[in-house]
């Protein structure tokens, strides 16, 4: 079983739609969680950290369920510019060495 699993997609949605991605992780000792965005042939960029209480940043909402070991990302009112691959990232080292494990990413295409 992979340490971090995501549905690779692609998710094809019309502009204005709401779309949600899930990610599961296997190590219950995982300490911190992130969503990164990666555009084609570019480096990943931090979209948002994921906190236990859930957090929102504009149209983006992230949630963490430690009991079920999954993380979600909700995008409301999708824009064409949201088209990208969304990477779920987990810091699996409880000693805080910040060794990140990346999911394979979920590809989103927002259609006009």
Partner 1 sequence: GAVVSQHPSWVICKSGTSVKIECRSLDFQATTMFWYRQFPKQSLMLMATSNEGSKATYEQGVEKDKFLINHASLTLSTLTVTSAHPEDSSFYICSARGRTGGTDTQYFGPGTRLTVL
Binding site for partner 1 (CB under 8 A): 32, 34, 41-46, 49, 87, 96-105
Secondary structure letter of residue 42 according to DSSP = S
Least CB distance from residue 80 to partner 1, whole Å?
22
Distances (CA, A) of 60 to 48, 86, 92, 95: 9, 12, 24, 29
Q: Which is nearer to partner 1, 37 or 63 (CB)?
A: 37
- Whether the CB-CB separation of 50 and 62 falls below 8 Å is answered with yes
Residue 43 beta carbon to partner 1: minimum distance, rounded to whole angstroms: 4
Shortest Å distance, C-beta 98 to partner 1: 6
Number of Cβ within 10 Å of residue 65's Cβ equals: 13
**Quick one: 15 or 42, whose CB is closer to partner 1?**
42
Rounded Cα–Cα distance for residues 110 and 19 (Å):
10
Tokens of residue 46, six digits: 């931090």
Cβ atoms of 47 and 109 closer than 8 Å:
no
Nearer to partner 1 (CB atom), residue 41 or residue 112 = 41
Q: Which is nearer to partner 1, 10 or 16 (CB)?
A: 10
| Smallest gap from residue 109 Cβ to partner 1 (A) | 15
């Amino acid at each position: 079983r992979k340490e971090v699993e995501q549905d690779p997609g692609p998710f094809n949605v019309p502009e204005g739609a709401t779309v949600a991605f899930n990610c599961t992780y296997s190590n219950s000792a995982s300490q911190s969680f992130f969503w990164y965005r990666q555009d084609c042939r570019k480096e990943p960029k931090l979209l948002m950290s994921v906190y236990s209480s859930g957090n929102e940043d504009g149209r983006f909402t992230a949630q963490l369920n430690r009991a079920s070991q999954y993380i979600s990302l909700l995008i409301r009112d999708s824009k064409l510019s949201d088209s990208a691959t969304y990477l779920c990232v987990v810091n699996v080292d409880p000693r805080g060495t910040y060794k990140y494990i990346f999911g394979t990413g979920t590809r989103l295409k927002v259609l006009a």
